[in-house]
Amino acid sequence: MASRSLARNDSTPWQPWDPLDLPPRRTSAVASSACRARLAVACALGCMAVQCALIAGQPALVPAAYPVLEQETFNRINAYRSARGLRPLAWDETVASQCRAHCARMARADRYLAHEGFAERASCIRRVTAFLRVSENVGSNYGYDDPVEAALQGWIESPPHRDAVEGSYAATGIGVDRSASGTYYFAEIFVQR
């Protein structure tokens, strides 16, 4: 099985949605019907969060598809930050929900890795909490025994991604999903309050 790891970063101050958002990155994939059904449910939930469907004044929360991998990514990011004398990030469930929705969408398509819709995710987060700046890292990998380590290595080895990981942020949320072909998709949004 071939291994691959891709990573992208968008560390721009929040601004209104730009219709010229980054185009999707294409890779090949074929989804099984069982996984399509599971991903369709995740996508439906993700669409609610991306569109900020309000429930009792709050954006809908998307449940974790891979909570153990999310927690492991969170723990390793904070361990990396602590080793460099940086304060740990707090977990934000609203931010994580936006990351999960984006990962579900990338996993369902299983052919691109992009920041498409980042401004909308930032807008949904802003409805719940004020922030000065947000940044997003996305990544994907396939065929690794430790997909969390592969994602983190990709981010740490890339200067713009490392800048986000080491940035002066206070909170974060992480989403992880897996496509029918076995590719893991990661998204992490960092929030400076």
Whether residue 93 is predicted with pLDDT greater than 60 in this model: the reply is: yes
CA distances from 10 to 108, 117, 133, 173, 185 (A): 22, 11, 11, 15, 16
Neighbour-count burial for 100-132, b at 16+ CB within 10 Å, e otherwise: bbbbbbbbbbbebbbbbbbbbbbbbbeebeebe
The better pLDDT of the pair 13, 90 is held by: 90
Does the pTM of the predicted model rise above 0.75?
A: no
Whether residue 103 is predicted with pLDDT greater than 70 in this model: the reply is: yes
CB burial of residue 8 (10 Å; 0-12, 13-18, 19+): buried
Please choose, from the candidates 95, 104, 98, the residue with its C-alpha nearest in 3D space to the C-alpha of residue 31.
104
Given this model, what pLDDT does residue 113 score?
81
C-alpha 125/C-alpha 9 separation (Å) is 18
Given this model, what pLDDT does residue 60 score?
57
pLDDT (tens digit per residue) in 122-137: 999 999 989 999 999 9
Conformation bin of residue 43: beta by default, left when phi > 0, alpha when psi is -120 to 50: alpha
Mean pLDDT of the chain: 76
Whether residue 180 is predicted with pLDDT greater than 90 in this model: the reply is: yes
With beta carbons less than 8 A apart as the criterion, state whether 75 and 100 touch. no
Please choose, from the candidates 157, 176, 183, 175, the residue with its C-alpha nearest in 3D space to the C-alpha of residue 95.
175
